[in-house]
Amino acid sequence: MAIRSKIWIIFLLVMWLPPGSAANAAEPGGVFWWELKSPGTNTNREQMSVSMEKPKTLLLCRGRFPHKEKEICVSNNEVWIRSPDGIISKADLSLEKGIIALSFPSRLNPAVINGLYLIGAHMDVRSMDIDSDGTDETVHCYSKYLLYHQDEDSIQGGRQDVFFNDPDKIALEIGPVDTQNEKGKTLWREAGFQEALKKHRLKVLYKGEPLSNANVAIFTESGWEKRAKTNAKGIFTFVPLQGIQAEEKVERCLYAASFRDPLTGQYHCSSLMTYIKPHRPLYDSKARGFNLWAVLSVSLFLLYVATLIYRKKRRSDKDLAEFERHKIDEHVKSQN
């Protein structure tokens, strides 16, 4: 237990440690994460949905989430894109005001297939003696983003997934487990989204295998934090809170996992950015209830009107028949 606690403390130091010597350990640096350049924070559902079908720019950031530093300077950056057909290729990057940016889709990073794309970055922090044992340890940092692309002129990918499953590129990664609806259909478009106040399961893989007892930290845009640990199947559960109260707003959520490989002595830290959608069951149930009562009320009213019309017509027919009968009787009497 003490070893695990020590690893977790070291993980926090590493994630807050800017690349450099151990002398800078007390100076906070932060975790790495991907975020959309536009739209920004506090984006509503409609804007986020529209942004999926337009070219976008992803920024690789570092800091105390959600606050990022002005610049990011790490060595040996490798950024990968996994397409919906399962092909992994190296991404072409640019710099925007000192921040690493990835434009997608673009001429350098085309998207010829519809579906879920995975963006993954691998940063090697300089070797340093993190645990003060006299030996320098290598720290590998990874950051992943789930991005759905849809184009009317493209075909749908047949090998979509929420994991790279390529240890040589992204050794440690996090991904959602529950990506299917009640009918068993996989909702790849919603893979990067979660609903507030609902239970979500996520899995941590190390070199393609479920990682048990992995330390996971969850950070939300509103400043809420939580710690979790994976079970024997590498799975942990999380119920996002609805920190941003605006009805249509989505909130960013960052998952960060850590692991020290006992065979190599190397440290691995990985993150995944997701978006939390507002939970509105009460609103939906009220809306459904209102619609139901509206339909029932209108139906009852129409039935009532139809009954009145029928009764009035029936009374009129009866009166007309009585009048005709009386008229015939009078005619018969007059003939006699």
Q: How does pLDDT run across 144-192, given as a tens digit for each residue? A: 999 999 888 889 999 999 999 999 999 999 999 988 876 778 889 889 9
- Check residues 134 and 231 and name the one with the higher pLDDT: 231
* Shared domain check, 294 and 214: no
Residue that is last in its domain, among 240, 261, 279: 279
Tokens of 152: 């009317």
* Overall number of domains in the chain: 2
Closest CA to 194 of 281, 82, 279: 279
Residues 150 and 190: their CA atoms lie apart, in Å, by: 13
* Shared domain check, 126 and 218: yes
Closest CA to 207 of 172, 174, 163: 172
∠ CA 60-255-195, nearest 5°, is 110
Residues 310 and 306: their CA atoms lie apart, in Å, by: 6
* Shared domain check, 110 and 74: yes
Residue that is last in its domain, among 279, 295, 313: 279
* Shared domain check, 250 and 113: yes
CA distances (Å), origin 296, targets 166, 202, 291, 292, 301: 56, 43, 9, 6, 8
CA distances (Å), origin 88, targets 34, 155, 174, 267, 271: 18, 18, 17, 24, 19
Q: What is the pTM of this model?
A: 0.74
| pLDDT tens, position by position, 248-273 | 678 889 999 999 999 988 999 999 99
